[in-house]
Amino acid sequence: MFQQTDQADARVDSRPAGVQLRARRSPALVALGILLVVLGGLGSAALFSLNGEQHGVVTVAADIRRGDTVAREDLTVVDVPGTLAVEAADAALLDTMVGQHALTDLPKGSFPRPEHFGADPLPDGEALVGLRLPLGRLPTADMPPGTGVLLVSLADGAQWDTAAQVAARPVLLDDGASYSVNVRVPDPDALEVARLSAADQLALVVVSEDA
């Protein structure tokens, strides 16, 4: 019995030191490895495609305050993926924005659009008045900056009105029943407009450009 064991040990010891037993490979692990390699390649290809489809858009390089004249150094162009979900102005529109007046505050890093720029929001001879108007005293249709309006007094026996322009789109207030809107009015009428608005005796009517 001991003689057979010694012979078996001798056969094991006679194997060259450089020869090792080869482990058996699992077909499932091999298939999983191939799948991971393929998926990795597809992911890399998709990422490369995403980064490759880029285009230039305008972005704000320094904070711009409402009413400021936009200088060239206030804006810059950045490349963004074609799948960017944010609406942005094409780089070709940059020159049309320079020299315009900002109609709203534009923080650094934001993506301005052409409608954010226009003529001086407060030319000489005009005043900016903030109104709070309840539903029914102004149209609910969109009123972008520059919309011509007529401010009408609702005071008893009064027949007073004045032409004005919307300076910023009306904003529905938290009460859900009134709007805040900024309007440009002639200087001589600013005090009366503010008084009527505070007394809840003012209505805003949109007028045509030919009016």
Task: Tally the residues of the chain.
Answer: 211
The boundaries of the domain holding residue 173 are 126-206
pTM for the structure as a whole: 0.49
Which residue, among 55, 115, 57, has the nearest Cα to 89 in the 3D structure? 57
The 10s digit of each residue's pLDDT in 48-81 is: 455 557 889 999 999 998 778 899 999 999 988 8
State yes or no: pLDDT of 106 exceeds 80: yes
**Confidence band for 2, pLDDT divided at 50, 70 and 90:** very low
189 is written with which tokens? 């009428």
182, 185, 188, 190 alpha-carbon torsion, rounded to 10°: -10
**Confidence band for 16, pLDDT divided at 50, 70 and 90:** low
Q: What's the mean pLDDT when you consider all of the chain?
A: 80
**Confidence band for 176, pLDDT divided at 50, 70 and 90:** very high
Residue 165 lies in a domain: yes
Last-in-domain residue among 84, 118, 152: 118
Residue 101 lies in a domain: yes
CA 151 to mean position of chain CA atoms:
32
Predicted local distance difference test score (pLDDT) of residue 36: 60
The 10s digit of each residue's pLDDT in 182-205 is: 999 999 999 999 999 999 999 999
Task: Check: CB of residue 71 under 8 Å from CB of residue 100.
Answer: no
The arithmetic mean of pLDDT across residues 116-132, rounded, is 84
Residue 144 lies in a domain: yes
**Confidence band for 107, pLDDT divided at 50, 70 and 90:** very high
Whether residue 132 sits in one domain with residue 105: no
- Residue type at 71? A
Last-in-domain residue among 118, 135, 168: 118
Last-in-domain residue among 118, 149, 172: 118
Which residue, among 66, 71, 62, has the nearest Cα to 122 in the 3D structure? 66
The arithmetic mean of pLDDT across residues 4-22, rounded, is 51
The count of structural domains within the chain is 2
Task: Check: CB of residue 166 under 8 Å from CB of residue 149.
Answer: yes
Give 20's DSSP letter: -
Whether residue 152 sits in one domain with residue 114: no
**Confidence band for 167, pLDDT divided at 50, 70 and 90:** confident
Which residue, among 91, 170, 85, 160, has the nearest Cα to 130 in the 3D structure? 170
Whether residue 141 sits in one domain with residue 87: no
* 35-44, 115-124, 159-168, 171-180: least confidently modelled range: 35-44
CA count, 13 A, side-chain hemisphere, 140: 7
What distance in Å separates the CA atoms of residue 109 and residue 80, rounded to the nearest whole number?
Answer: 13
Give 25's DSSP letter: P
Residue 26 lies in a domain: no
State yes or no: pLDDT of 118 exceeds 60: yes
Whether residue 137 sits in one domain with residue 111: no
* CATH, residue 102: 3.90.1210.10
Whether residue 114 sits in one domain with residue 60: yes
**Confidence band for 139, pLDDT divided at 50, 70 and 90:** very high
Which residue, among 112, 56, 110, 114, has the nearest Cα to 82 in the 3D structure? 56
Whether residue 147 sits in one domain with residue 201: yes
- Residue type at 20? Q
Give me the residues paired with residue 181 across strands.
131
